[in-house]
Amino acid sequence: MNVRDTIQGISDCWQGSRLSLVAEPHSMPIQPPESDILLSLVVASLLVLFIIFNRRVINAVFCSFSVLTNKRRIREIFNENYNNVSIRVTFLICLPLLSFILYRTGVVAYGFLITLAALAAFFLFKQISFLIMSWLWGRKEVVHTVSRLNYATVIMVTLTSIPVAVMLHIIPDMGYMVVLITLGVIFIVWYLLYLIKSVEIFISSGFSHFLGFLYLCGLELLPVILLADIAIRF
């Protein structure tokens, strides 16, 4: 009985293959150099805008915090034109800053410009909806107050999210879930305050509970849920 040698070399078992002891290029995401240049320009531009409008930004921060936490100061603050302009200017600064934070913390992976375009389109949709509401319901001042609350919420969400991005830069090993949960808690806290204040304004101004419920579901919860669903799916 003849026994044949069945021991074969690796090259005989897997012909045409190769073994690699180093990581493949696609195992780690590679960020294009021009992306860093673009983001550096964005941060520098935001810093310049903050220096130019520092008084308005500081005023807008105090106003935003006051209207979201103190119901009695809403009318007092929004009746001042200086406060309204400060809040709008600061909102325009915070929108790209929020996009930068979401991109740098890894919450979104579509790039800074796509994130900024998505947020801008979302808030543009809300502003158009507010204009339609003020035309249909006939109480422009009430709707405009809620619209300004929307700006104030974005300001507070952005400013309270900055420490998370800074900590992630200082501690790169911070877990993704920790960052995601922290940003989620920040968003939920300010957004709930915004929703509560908005519904209180509508109800106290004589609108029915049905219209308040319709506003809450149609203009606030549904768009946010759809935006989150799109972000998760794609």
Mean pLDDT of the 37-59 span: 82
DSSP 3-62: -------HHHHSTT----SS--GGGS----HHHHHHHHHHHHHHHHHHHHTHHHHHHHHH
Residue 128 scores a pLDDT above 70? yes
Provide the pLDDT for residue 216.
74
Residue 226 scores a pLDDT above 80? no
Whether the model clears a pTM of 0.85, i.e. scores above it, the answer is no
pLDDT-based confidence at residue 82 (cuts at 50, 70, 90): very high
Residue 190 scores a pLDDT above 70? yes
